[in-house]
A and B are shown apart, each in its own frame.
Chain A
């Protein structure tokens, strides 16, 4: 298994540009998440999905959109990039059933700079 993969690894955007951060997992996990990590800080939840066709906002959703048409893919869209969105973005997935929690796996991250 490749686990959780993300592309691109690095990206520089100009203010106002748009882009999509790609995330895929091959573990058949139902839950998927997008976090951002600002320098020297912990991770903050942007959006999450509990299954294909179901998404919802996290703590810091403004300026982002997501979709989940299949179990495997969970892309994150930035429509009008702003310098405040300069961060490292981590996608994660988790297999969660009715009871009990299982490990959350992270992708390698995308380092985004908005100038």
Chain B
């Protein structure tokens, strides 16, 4: 089945700096790649997603890039703010048939220092 690896496991940045989190996936049939933000004690919330027919997607301070050849995708957060502090998860799913469930990375704890 699909395997998603995520790094780094922790990331500390100064407010206003950029943060980058990287993920790799194993199954070339995966075609949907969401990123979730999870605050302590809360449910995961979708922040951005990308499909395999797109190389990059941006939403204000957040962007995701996808390299299908290398099977990796990254989350970029610019101008970080203290409220960006949370655990971020990448995920991948194989679309169109079957269970189409998300396989998650192990998470990155982002700490934005004021």
User: Using a CB–CB distance below 8 Å, which chain A residues touch chain B?
Assistant: 31, 33, 40-45, 48, 50, 56, 58-59, 90, 94, 96, 98-101, 103-104, 106-109
Contacts and interface: CB of A to CB of B under 8 A. Distances in A.
B101 A41 contact: no
B93 to A, nearest CB: 7
Nearest to B38: A37
Interface in B1-54: 1, 4, 6, 31-32, 34, 42-46, 49, 51
Contacts of B73: none
B41 to A, nearest CB: 8
Given A98-B96, A101-B51, A107-B43, A48 B101 contact: yes
Interface residues of B, number: 26
Contacts of A101: 31-32, 49, 51, 93, 95, 100
Given A42-B107, A59-B1, A104 B102 contact: yes
A59 B103 CA distance: 10
Contact of B43 (A56, A59, A96, A106): A106
